[in-house]
Structure 1
């Protein structure tokens, strides 16, 4: 017998033989997918945030076509930690030129430069710019070993420069997939074990979600070969976290409804059919919201944002397929004994209706005005640190640990013009080269403009190199680049300004544009999904405002922690947008789970009673899901890259805040305060069951 005469549940493909068939097909499909050996189209991390239309990107393409940017140097930097170099040190540096020469690109010469203060020197070793990223480690490592060998006591050597930074950044992701997978799986396993208090129940959802994660990675790799995006360590790591976090959340919700129905149905197959028909709409709505929000990143200028958007959307689709197709079949294979020692039996009272969350619901709905004001004040206080928020990390500030390329760059900046290792390129027609050179040399912040060499001119274009006095990637460097562009274009409108600082500036501009475009799009998507699901303008607007307030509070509190505990100088450019996306899209999930259940109850009870029952029966599972999702995002901190740490902390704290305060306290209080008006203009706002009856 099916509860509530649910006809839809009869069509769910769950049964003794169909469940076995589904699991078997899933195993075969997964093995074939994982054994296909598909590799993704990998992106170059150095240009991950730079759109093709950016001026610096066009300058780089032009330089490559002219053949004037075929080489980029690694700098072997020597110093004595603030002391003068000795005569022996100078001889050693001179000898290192000969030792490092075999490591330079064919036809290029290693060259020494001594600082005017006598405290440092470097040897530049040119490498080809078209060297694949995965092949750079060998020459950079060889340069580091040769530079550090047989040095006098007290003399230090460090290798820095563009290729060295690329190698150090790629090392962050060496083995990252394995570390993230193992850490995430352990965290999820522990939390599932604590949630279900069963020695084996947790194995089923963990196995299903774990396989889904690997299939999702293969699907993303395959899609990157067809669609206009690529994969990199950052997007792969975030996609894995999304699949584990969202997939486990959906599993928790489905299993909770399944256990609830096992107390009403004799047949485990009937119980799963009913549970599926009741849980699937909320899961599909929440996953659809996340997918659509991620696809909004497809409109971003930043390639790295597009990679995360497309990869994450594919990952969520795979996660929800495994959660709604494979997991129900797998759960019914083992019967009620899977829940041992807390086996649900027909006729048992549902403990959620009289448990902890029922008491919380009673307290919240008893004084909705007081609770609403207190909850909103708490969010405002947490958001106050936003007044001092700064964004933009320089190249040397990207790492939590300090790699050799960063310390080497710091020595260069201390003893040489800060931009000496990464000059700004100015590409102009030959006829305007002299005038542009004089104009750029007069810009405040330009230390010098190198005279063009014969090889720096080709096909009527001259490439000038401007050395900046500001630290690479700093706001002062960005201001100088903007001034250089203005000065150059005043002489010749066709001038192009490129180089690392110009690339960083263009990436920041693209990020600002993306935030202005994508954030309203995400809000529009979430609002539309809530309108379709709840049929209520008031409910949709209230829920969107609460998740936005959660984001502001989480960002403010996290920024305070970053400045006082982590000593981070700023947020990475991509962090606000990514954090907003994940918190709003994932945060609204819990509100969907809560309010869809409240809507179900509101057909029979007044609004206060409906939201109380909804909170009582969903409080435990949603809290478990929120804690698990927060823990999974925090796992991003295992990688020593500041951007991932920042995203993990902001989203992790925000999910906890949403789970423990906003969804469990503030939203129920607001619903109780609004009463039937919460459902306006839907039918429930005019229902015969009135508040207080």
Structure 2
């Protein structure tokens, strides 16, 4: 037996299957407690999301010179349209004294300040961002909201500002891991039941995927605690969806090939060994594509994007290990009965030869060129929606699918106070030219006021209030003008930060990441396909179809975001995240199909091989695509626009890839290009009949 054959036999050997099961049980026992600690290891502070070299990030670090803890300003807003009364002012003053004793509130409470129109007041409260990140904000803001609302006598009260917004974000992400886990498991269970039509078989892929998730979470927790890996709520949430979705995909492909081999081999151990030997390379190549694509994120400027790469890569690797070892062991331990009520008997006919996808292949084979041209034009038409894509960042109000208190409070602030109140710019410079720096900032268009300069430990700082709302384009333009003005002051070494500067720097870093990472991912995936298929033409064709599918999915998504869901726009990193997931995961289905086509083409020819490959893999790949799309669609259950948009676009792209691109477009191109698809390998020099074999592929077969 060859080395690869012996390796494939290990997880399903008569004795070694028990060894494999025991090893995974030990891993689960060890990993369980560690996986539960992953949320505690999340770093949701602003610096964990920002580009490390950005000016706003440097300001966050240098601010600790003036205050040893990181803080965010909460702005308590009071509004009475008929006019603030003396009793209202006394109430706000009493609240301000109470805020000073609220847990996690540090520094001086400023206010209440009456608006010029006399209809609103504001009190600024600095809140510590502790080791638990925005959870500290949530606790303090909840207390302030309760204090402000108590005895308000009809006066509207809100808490906004960076702390209020952060607290509402924490609320939106609260329980995200549990929500995503239970929703994803529910979706996977339902679809596995529909796919297998068996009351028992669905349990084995689900158990294997669940074990993979716990082990992956444990590994990531250890790396976060001891190796400096950055994990935040975003990456932890996507990990759940990716491991369960991709793991179930691999399970479907392996189980389908195992069921096929059970009809050819009487011994189930031998059948599984053949299934692993045949399907294993495609599954490994598929996971390698995802892992390599995710690791490309390591070159990102954005810390949050850079941290997402290894988190997802670890999750996929653990899922791969579970599906190639634990799942085969469980399947052979259970035996054929687990497929009940439709058990694959030895010597029975393979139903895919005359199934739905065999008929689809026969239809495509009649006029493949017209099919792929028509399909390509239809997908190209869907790309028109890209003109409405607005991936320039989300406003504060646009971050949430609903309207939380901080958004309402921000709207009240803008109506009654200068637009940037509660979210000022922070300028830090050397001491000697500090007054010149302040004067330069104060005279910059878009700045309404500056605070006095504070000096400490060789550095000087002050704050500048923006005239426009802090998340507006006008405010971002002001940041650039202020930076230009203060940078021009000799020997100042001035830096400009604050929430608006953070938004600006993050957007620019995300745009730079898009330009650098997207071509890199394409190159990596192209190289993997070339090695796997041992050809030059086929990888280029497959990459082109996946890119077309991505563009079509983005076009349709942009249309729905604007005209159906009425979202304000998209996050700057949205195109990159969707691209990486769709290209990495979308190419999976092409790998599953084309490795089978290549296997069949070696003795049938490319045209017949394409039809056999489609007939054999069409059902399982469609099921896998539906499961993966559904798991990503679960992201839409979260009240966060960024997650909802990623979930919708990836789910749509996976469905397009599964139902249209892989099954129709790629099959038609393969039949039309015939042996030239494999140039320059030996398969490209083997001529085959132009007509497919009627006994297998005709509509009457």
Considering the TM-score relative to the shorter chain, is it more than 0.5?
Answer: yes
Distance 2:35 2:320 in 1: 24
Distance 2:646 2:372 in 1: 28
Distance 2:184 2:106 in 1: 45
Structure 1 residue 409 corresponds to structure 2 residue 407: no
| Alpha-carbon distance, 1:174 to partner | 1.8
Q: Deviations over 1:284-314 (max 9, x none)?
A: 0000010011011111111111221111000
Match of residue 345 from structure 1: 345
Match of residue 602 from structure 1: 601
Cα distance, 1:124–1:7 mapped onto 2, change above 3 Å = closer
Cα distance, 1:128–1:242 mapped onto 2, change above 3 Å = closer
What are the equivalent positions in structure 2 for 1:12-161 lying under 5 Å apart?
A: 12-36=10-34, 39-40=37-38, 41-67=41-67, 72-80=72-80, 82-103=81-102, 105=105, 108-130=108-130, 132-133=132-133, 134-153=135-154, 155-161=155-161
| Alpha-carbon distance, 1:85 to partner | 2.7
Cα distance, 1:36–1:658 mapped onto 2, change above 3 Å = closer
| Alpha-carbon distance, 1:387 to partner | 1.4
> What SS does the aligned partner of 1:471 have?
coil
Q: Deviations over 1:121-166 (max 9, x none)?
A: 112223345574233333222111111001112x111111222222
Match of residue 449 from structure 2: 448
| Alpha-carbon distance, 1:247 to partner | 0.3
Distance 1:372 1:576 in 2: 26
Alpha carbon RMSD of aligned pairs, Å? 2.1
Question: Mind listing any 5+ residue stretches in structure 2 that lack a counterpart?
Answer: 693-701
| Alpha-carbon distance, 1:169 to partner | 1.4
Match of residue 571 from structure 2: 572
Contact 1:6 1:274 in 2 (8 A): no
Distance 1:498 1:379 in 2: 44
Contact 1:56 1:497 in 2 (8 A): yes
Distance 1:246 1:234 in 2: 18
Match of residue 557 from structure 1: 556
Q: After the TM superposition, which of the residue ranges 134-143 and 333-342 deviates more from structure 2?
A: 134-143
| Alpha-carbon distance, 1:15 to partner | 2.5
Distance 1:72 1:585 in 2: 38
Match of residue 367 from structure 1: 367
What are the equivalent positions in structure 2 for 1:431-580 lying under 5 Å apart?
A: 431-452=432-453, 456-492=454-490, 494-580=493-579
Contact 2:43 2:132 in 1 (8 A): no
Cα distance, 1:249–1:69 mapped onto 2, change above 3 Å = closer
Contact 2:124 2:422 in 1 (8 A): no
Contact 1:676 1:690 in 2 (8 A): no
Distance 1:299 1:148 in 2: 47
Match of residue 671 from structure 2: 672
Equivalenced residue count is 686
Q: After the TM superposition, which of the residue ranges 606-615 and 31-40 deviates more from structure 2?
A: 31-40
Contact 1:43 1:231 in 2 (8 A): yes
Question: Mind listing any 5+ residue stretches in structure 1 that lack a counterpart?
Answer: none
Cα distance, 1:631–1:573 mapped onto 2, change above 3 Å = same
| Alpha-carbon distance, 1:690 to partner | 5.5
Q: Deviations over 1:153-210 (max 9, x none)?
A: 2x11111122222222122222211111111111000000000000111011111111
Distance 1:545 1:277 in 2: 29
| Alpha-carbon distance, 1:118 to partner | 1.5
Q: Deviations over 1:88-126 (max 9, x none)?
A: 433432333334343384663442111111221112223
Q: After the TM superposition, which of the residue ranges 176-185 and 526-535 deviates more from structure 2?
A: 176-185
Contact 1:554 1:654 in 2 (8 A): yes
| Alpha-carbon distance, 1:673 to partner | 1.4
Distance 1:256 1:84 in 2: 71
> What SS does the aligned partner of 1:103 have?
coil
Distance 1:152 1:506 in 2: 42
Match of residue 264 from structure 1: 264
Q: After the TM superposition, which of the residue ranges 317-326 and 134-143 deviates more from structure 2?
A: 134-143
Cα distance, 1:347–1:77 mapped onto 2, change above 3 Å = same
Distance 2:595 2:612 in 1: 12
| Alpha-carbon distance, 1:495 to partner | 1.1
Q: After the TM superposition, which of the residue ranges 391-400 and 500-509 deviates more from structure 2?
A: 391-400
Distance 2:73 2:511 in 1: 31
Contact 2:35 2:214 in 1 (8 A): no
Distance 1:13 1:615 in 2: 28
Match of residue 624 from structure 1: 623
Distance 1:290 1:326 in 2: 21
Match of residue 682 from structure 1: 681
Cα distance, 1:433–1:201 mapped onto 2, change above 3 Å = same
Contact 1:212 1:318 in 2 (8 A): yes
| Alpha-carbon distance, 1:7 to partner | 5.2
Q: State the TM-score, normalizing by the size of structure 1.
A: 0.95
Cα distance, 1:86–1:659 mapped onto 2, change above 3 Å = same
